[in-house]
Structure 1
Amino acid sequence: MKKKGTGALLLLVLGAAILIGIKLLLPGFIDEQQVNTSDAVKIKGKVRLALDNWIGYFPLRSNEMKTLMRRGGWNLVWTDDKADYHTRMEQLHKGEIDIAVATVDSYLLNGAEFNFPGSIIAVIDESKGGDAIVAHKEKAENLDSLKGKNNLRIAFTPNSPSHYLLKAAADHFNVPELVSTQHSKRIETEGSEGALKKLLAGKADIAVLWEPDVSRALAEKDIVKLLGTEDTAQLIVDILLVSRDFMQDQPEAVEVLLRSYFRVLKKYRDNPDLLEKDVVEETGLPTKTAQAMLHGVSWVSLLDNCENWFGITHPGGQARELISDTIESAAATLVNVGDFTSSPIPDQNPYRLLKSSFLQGLYTEGINGFTKPGAKAVGQGTDSLTTPFLAMDTAVWERMREVGTLKIEPIIFQHGSSELDLFAEEVVGKIVTRLEHYPHFRIVVKGHTGLRGDAVQNKALSQQRANSVAAFLQKKFHIDPNRIQAIGYGADRPLQQLPGESKRTYEHRLLRVEIVLVREEF
């Protein structure tokens, strides 16, 4: 009797196990059958992409991109994380996403904690007017006017690309007041719109904004632009990152992604009206707002990626590696403003963050519908140092508006001499890394002397020294002569003596050459 009871119990347990197994496995069987009996069998896998609503990422998140990826055998799934770069890097590290977008500075700032979990495989775009530092006119007319001011109220979105514009301006133009908590009050907002509201309500003196809020701010008569990304180069640069594990496991998916992306980019470049239409439909923004946002971004083509950013070209061609320079420049700025105590670049080698082989493959093979290697593409990028400028007469130069004075070490001349020695040339050469970021501004080289001596002779000597610096920039770095004006002021514009500063130190500081960036008023 006991044996019969035990056997029945075993049968009952076995039956329950079979039912549970069927319940657990049946959806999988149904799913597999559904895939195998449909066109979904063509899909090889899923590519998980994290981004946000920055207009520069629109081609990546467009329906055109999804369609081309599916045709290539991969299902593109993207999520909007509201520009949470830290979480984005953590997810890339944990393998929760495969691809991520970021700016160079945000990758350095947030990726270091996770040992830089992705490789940069392409440059997406540069902000070209999409971000700007604006201010109430009575508080500041240019960046130099902020120097020495206390209690400035600055509204910005922390850890955003526009926040990096604030840091870069503080570093490049020697205006620590923009980032120092000792000199300014930080007003952190959750977006550009919040910073704009603080500015217009009179609760902030300065705001860092992005479009369309930049245009909205400048529509007010008392608001001026101190610095915008339309006048910068290699500063706020968006990049495409791929997980190192995903790159090794699914290289085909990465290739399909890049191939699809550059095809979409070309389609929109050839059909700007279609781009505008798709942006309006996706965002629901008014047409004028969408146009302002599109105007603030400059997408980087396949050829530009290869020949200007990653050093890839055809035999006998010339190419540059702007991406490695941009990484090093961003790292230096983050160190200078206190985000890091030393460069976060692994082993001080920016190439450890790059993977150019996918671009190399596309460039070598060519993509159907793209300009072949060796041909000159329309709109191809130019060297930011050798940008040509129209000649201007003295009256026009005098109407130029100052942007700010670049930070530079003292240029030492021998007593009574205007010749640059090797040490002085090295000092002038260092300024070029900063000039590369601002290709649209003209340059005024200002020479100054001490207060002692003959005024006429001092002015002549200061002019000669300014001429020497300008000539060196033109000859060594091929900067267009039309872009530079050299002026000698002699002792006419002395610096203010600092509290407690000795007379000797003060007089030594008066002997200086300044590099001032200026722009035309339109």
Structure 2
Amino acid sequence: MNHARSAMVLFLLGAIAIGGYYLFKEQHLENAFKASSDASGAKDRIRIAVDSWVGYYPLCSAELKKRLRELGYVLECVDDGADYPGRMKQLQQGNIDFAVATVDSYIVAGAAVRYPGVIVSVIDESKGGDAIIARKTRFASLNDLKTGDIKVALTPSSPSEFLAKSLAVHFDLPPLAKSKPWLVATDGSAQALQALQQGQVDVAVLWEPDVSRALQDKQFHRLIGTEQTERMVVDVLVAQRDLVAKKPELVSVFLQQYFRVLKRYRDEPKLLQQELVLHTGLAEADVDTMVKGVAWASLTDNALTWMAHDAKVPSKEAAISSIESVISVLTDYGDLNRNPLPDADPYRLLNSSFVHQLHLQSNAGFTGAADALPQAKQNYAALSAAQWQNMREVGTLKLRAINFSSGSDVLSLDDKTRLDEIASTLSHYPHFYIDIRGHSGVRGDAAANRQLSQDRADAVARYLELTHSFAINRMRAQGVGGEQPLARQPGESERSYFYRLPRVELIFLTEQL
């Protein structure tokens, strides 16, 4: 018996030794592969779970992978076919660092695993990128969904299902009730499109690029899309909680490079179009339609509109209102009987510190100079027409209008005195660009009015440049003629109103970072 036991022990020790040898050998080979290749410079690997929604394309673009690789990070995108429950489990287990999700899918799928991540950024808002597509001969409008038996193909636990639930609640569509005899569950939008094309269903809820693909067939049309909704389908980037706590620099680097890539696509829309043509196989016109259905959220949008407020940068906290709206819809639909968030507190799902810190850093370096430098020494980069177009007006920071005599573009002494005062005010805000917007009256020839308003804007820009050394690159003078007239004030006489119309406004602008 003792001999047999000893033999068994020796056998087990031998097996462990052999296993250890092969494990050591494999690790040695892995290290050799890494050390002898370009992978030797990699600091870390970043894994992000995504699906085919076009809004996620910049997150997995070759441009972002290249930028991160130059900083020593390897980006790996895992397409799980919109398996949101599985995606949340992977996040909980630490198998992925980031997960993309819609607000609704994170609220529902995240609850089962106690919300394993925090929202660090809003990615985009669907503005036509999600839609209900139907066969024209059967369903002409949403009202046709209210009667009869219908079959709808969509992906469960996805933005498609939430869109259907929202419409069921908002438009009182009993056939789309919680019992779900209408549901034909699919694995992703492409499969839902296939079910529609093959006649298995007459209605499908799709996301881009499948919406554009469906509409190429004239027998289908859009019943409703998210272009007709506000903050209903919002995509967010969720970072694993341990990652945020232990490797905050990785989260910051990833977001910084992502927003820079997003900015490049915004400044060079043709580049994004070309890449999406290759990525989707769609024609340029269809890609243009598809892109219009996505409202990507810039760093500036995140800091000023979406994310929870920062002491230095107030925000509209739209992400909080979106979370609360989703919970309201799911409760009315019958999916929820209580608020599933920890302590019913939506702030538990957000970490806005990354976008606010990046925004402050980016804004501080916006002009390439410190606050203390005089206006004349600021280094304002020249902006292209597309970059000016993408600038964002800063809240209510509007200055007193410069009024002109009728038909004149000559600055009066009073105008110059007012501009001197304005120049002093502008010196306190060196990081903002300035839109000098010329207006005219609404009567007379439109083209002549536009030219007169342009001359007025040019006169103001010229005065600020020559008298106060304002950098010419910082200012854009544009004339809009009578196309954007002031609103008439209650009780204002017609004479007073027309007197106020010929003017020049100076408006602070900030870059969409």
**TM-score interval, normalised by the smaller of the two chains:** 0.5 to 0.7
Distance apart, 1:178 and its partner CA: 2.4
Q: Kindly tell me: are residues 141 and 35 of structure 1, through their superposed partners in 2, closer, same or farther at Cα, counting changes over 3 Å? A: closer
**Structure 2 residue matching 1:366: 3-state secondary structure:** helix
CA shift digits 1:92-146 (9 cap, x unpaired): 1111111111111111111100000010000111112111113344544433454
Distance in 2 (CA, whole Å) between partners of 1:115 and 1:341 is 17
Q: Confirm whether residue 349 of structure 1 aligns to residue 348 of structure 2.
A: no
Quick one: distance in 1 between partners of 2:39 and 2:322?
Answer: 42
Mapping 1:365-376, distance limit 5 Å:
365-366=361-362
The whole-number CA distance in structure 1 between the counterparts of 2:95 and 2:15 is 36
Q: TM-score, normalised by structure 2?
A: 0.64
Q: Quick check: 1:159 aligned with 2:149?
A: no
Letter in 2 for 1:157: T
Q: Structure 1 residues 203 and 368 mapped into 2: Cα distance closer, same or farther (>3 Å)?
A: same
Any idea what the Cα deviations from partners look like across 1:315-372, whole Å, max 9, x if unmatched?
Answer: 4x65200001111111121222222222222211001000111112101211798689
Of residues 192-201 and 164-173 in structure 1, the stretch that sits farther from structure 2 once superposed is 192-201
After superposition, give the CA deviation of every residue in 1:68-102 in whole Å (9 maximum; x if it has no partner).
Answer: 11222322122111111111100111111111111
Q: Which amino acid aligns with 2:86?
A: T
Change (3 A) 1:16 1:164: closer
Question: What's 2:260 paired with?
Answer: 263
Aligned length: 373
Distance 1:215 1:242, change over 3 A: closer
Q: Is the contact made by 1:49 and 1:97 (CA closer than 8 Å) also made in structure 2?
A: yes
Q: Which residue of 1 aligns with 2:292?
A: 295
Local SS of the residue matching 2:151: strand
Query: Does the alignment pair 1:50 with 2:62?
Result: no
Structure 2 CA distance for aligned equivalents of residues 214 and 17 of structure 1: 56
Residues 1:31 and 1:332: Cα distance change in structure 2 (over 3 Å): same
Q: Deviations over 1:425-465 (max 9, x none)?
A: xxxxxxxxxxxxxxxxxxxxxxxxxxxxxxxxxxxxxxxxx
The alignment's C-alpha RMSD in Å is 3.8
**Is the Cα contact below 8 Å between 1:308 and 1:320 reproduced in 2?**
yes
Q: 1:34 to 1:157 in 2, by over 3 A?
A: closer
Q: Is the 8 A contact 1:303 1:377 kept in 2?
A: no
In the TM superposition, residue 247 of structure 1 has moved relative to its aligned partner by 1.3
Q: CA deviation at 1:43?
A: 2.5
In 1, Cα distance between the equivalents of 2:339 and 2:226?
24
2:272 to 275, 293, 296: 275
Task: Give the Cα–Cα distance (whole angstroms) in 2 for the partners of residues 333 and 371 of structure 1.
Answer: 44
Tell whether the 8 Å contact from 2:49 to 2:79 is kept in structure 1 after alignment: yes
Tell me the SS of whatever aligns to 1:83. coil
> Quick one: distance in 2 between partners of 1:160 and 1:150?
25
Consecutive unaligned residues in structure 2, runs of 5 or more: 1-12, 372-379, 381-387, 396-486, 488-513
State the Cα distance separating 1:27 from its structure 2 match.
Answer: 5.2
Counterpart residue type for residue 302 of structure 1:
L
Report the CA distance between 1:252 and its aligned residue: 1.0
C-alpha change, 1:41 and 1:194, in structure 2 (3 Å) is closer
- The one-letter amino acid paired with 2:49 is A
- Corresponding residue to 1:378 among 390, 393, 403: 390
1:495-506 equivalences under 5 Å are none
Question: Match for 2:153: what amino acid?
Answer: A
Aligned residues of 2:58 and 2:261 also touching (Cα < 8 A): yes
Q: 1:371 to 1:195 in 2, by over 3 A?
A: farther
State how far apart, in whole Å, the 2-side matches of 1:37 and 1:196 are.
Answer: 46
Query: Is 2:160 aligned against 1:190?
Result: no
Which structure 2 residues correspond to residues 1-16 of structure 1 after superposition, within 5 A?
A: none
State the Cα distance separating 1:17 from its structure 2 match: 9.9
SS at match of 1:152: coil
- Amino acid in the other structure paired with 1:61: C
Give the drift of 1:209: 2.3
Matches within 5 A, 1:104-503: 104-137=103-136, 139-147=138-146, 149-181=147-179, 185-199=182-196, 203-218=200-215, 223-312=220-309, 315=312, 318-366=314-362, 378=390, 380=392
State TM-score, norm by structure 1.
0.63
Q: 1:29 to 1:222 in 2, by over 3 A?
A: closer
Summarize the Cα distance change of 1:307–1:207 in structure 2 as closer, same or farther, 3 Å threshold: same
Q: Which segment drifts farther, 42-51 or 297-306?
A: 42-51
SS in 2 for 1:263: helix
Aligned match of 1:80? 79
Judged with a 3 Å threshold, the aligned counterparts in structure 2 of structure 1 residues 371 and 287 are, in CA distance, closer, same or farther, namely farther
